[in-house]
Amino acid sequence: MSTLEKTRRRGGIKNVSLFITVILFVGLFAAGSVRYDRFLSLSTFLNLFNDNAYLIIVSVGITFVLLTGGIDISVASTLAFTCVFSAFLLRLGVPAFVVIPLVLLIGLGVGALMGFLIHSYDLQPFIVTLAGQFFMRGLCAVISTESIPISDGFYKSMALGKVAFGKAKLYYYVFIALAVVALAYYVLKYTKFGRGVYAVGGGEQSAVLMGLPVARTKISVYAISGFCAALAGVVFSFYTLAGYSLQNMGLELDAISSAVIGGTLLTGGVGTVIGTMFGVLIQGVIQTIVTYQNLNTWWTKVTIAALLCVFIVIQRIIAIRAEKLKNKG
């Protein structure tokens, strides 16, 4: 096989995961449409975004971390903390335009701090963000173990504000999520920082020797992940109009699985936020189908578990085949 042909085959592989993800999404959506009468509608499609806006934001944030080869399991707690702390402050009468920037800054700061610890002391990201998870979840309970309702006017307007497309509707906060995806896509593809994220994931030592700002990059991805978690928290509190300390337990794993289904490798260096978004949407479709089928919602998890296994196996097979192709030359 000629070198060119060989590499062309290999080149397809870069986007195979994304391709499979999109096909899978379309396939699931089509299957739902065939099976259930009122499934096929713009409304069903847009509701995937309405229901999962916060998860898209968290998953995009965590994708940055995964791309560097790290992991962040603190995001669900950061999200919950944001909800509880926002609700707490709003109840004290602090205005929304103070509360929102403040909680976003906290998310950013906590993420940056974890990134700093991970990088400067060469610690395992898993342990550091596990500590972050306990810490933030603990703080939630310290503020209140009860659910705190939100009655702020701005939050209420965001909870209800929507754009209608006929019978279908898109809530305002979905646009926040889409903006996050678009911005993340741009940053990862067209900025030095974004390419640095991929480089660190491809080989941290190499990145250092190529003169890239590895320290800044590594700390930044955790800061971004923390910020996105806090932003998702704000969106989630629009959505629920309450803050509760036990909200979204285990959400970090949904975010990670979304990224993986979307083609991100946990070893770092490979993945896209578009893929991640589709990863979230796939979980959304499955959830919708499970609801239509009137099954226990845990079936969602069972299905996603099966999907995850299939996906990582497929990724592995692709990698092995690529390796073989290369060695044959």
Partner 1 sequence: MDAEKLLLRMEHISKRFPAVVALDDVEFSLRAGEIHALLGENGAGKSTLIKVLTGVEQRDSGTVWLEGKEIFPRTPQEAQETGISTVYQEVNLCPNLSVAENIYIGREPRRAGRIDWKTINRKAAELLGRFNLNIDVTQNLDAYSVAVQQMVAIARAVDISARVLILDEPTSSLTAVEVQKLFEIMRMLKSQGMGIIFVTHFLDQVYEVTDTITVLRNGEYVGTYATAELPRVQLVGKMIGKEYAELEGSAAAKGGEERMGEVLVELRGAGSASIPDVNLEIRRGEVLGLSGLLGSGRSETARLIFGVDRMERGEVDVRGRKTEVRGTLAAIRSGFAFCPENRKTEGIVGDLTIRENIVLALQTKRGMLRAISRAEAEKIADEYIEKLAIKTPSQDQLIRNLSGGNQQKVILARWLATNPDLLMLDEPTRGIDIGTKAEIQKIVIQLAEEGMALIFISSEIDEMLRCCNRMAVLRDKVKVAELSGEEISEAAIMNLIAGGAQNEQPA
Please give the residue ranges that form the binding site for partner 1 (CB under 8 A). Answer: 3-4, 6-8, 10-11, 14, 186, 189-192, 195-196, 198-199, 201-203, 205-212, 269-270, 322, 326, 329
* Of 128 and 207, CB closest to partner 1: 207
Residue with Cβ nearer partner 1 (11 or 138): 11
15 or 296: CB nearest partner 1: 15
Residue closer to partner 1 (CB basis): 6 or 169: 6
Task: Say which residues have a Cβ less than 8 Å from residue 240's Cβ, sequence separation at least 6.
Answer: 83, 247
Stated as kind and residue range, the H or E segment containing 162 is: strand 162-165
Q: Beta strand 242-243 with 148-149: parallel, antiparallel or unpaired?
A: antiparallel
Question: Quick one: 103 or 322, whose CB is closer to partner 1?
Answer: 322
Give min distance, CB of 5 to partner 1, in A.
11
Residue 220 CB, nearest approach to partner 1 (Å) = 15
Shortest distance, CB of residue 195 to partner 1, whole angstroms? 6
Rank residues 158 and 197 by Cβ distance to partner 1 and give the closer one.
Answer: 197
Burial class (CB in 10 A: 0-12, 13-18, 19+), 135: middle
Residue 145 is classified by DSSP as S
CB of 276 to partner 1, least distance (A): 17
Q: Return d(Cα 171, Cα 136) in angstroms, integer.
A: 28
Min dist. Cβ of residue 49 to partner 1 (A): 27
* Residue 196 vs 284, nearer CB to partner 1: 196
Listed in sequence order, the residues at least 6 apart from 311 whose beta carbon sits closer than 8 Å to its beta carbon are 17, 20, 260, 261
Q: How far is the CB of 125 from partner 1 (least distance, A)?
A: 19
- Residue 94 falls in which region: left (phi positive, over 0), alpha (psi -120 to 50) or beta: beta
**What's the min distance (Å) between Cβ of 192 and partner 1?**
6
What DSSP assignment string belongs to 169-194? EEEHHHHHHHHHHHHHHHHHHHSHHH
* Smallest distance, partner 1 to C-beta of residue 3, A: 7
DSSP sequence for 200-252: HHH-HHHHHHTT--HHHHHHHHHHHHHHHHHHHHHHHHHHHSEE-TTTTTTHH
- Pick 151 or 191: Cβ nearer partner 1: 191
Instruction: Give the up-direction half-sphere exposure of residue 186: CA atoms within 13 A in the CB hemisphere.
Output: 6
Identity of residue 296: N
Do 116 and 122 meet the contact criterion of CB atoms below 8 Å apart? no
Residues 6+ apart with CB under 8 A from 90: 96, 99, 150, 151, 152, 155
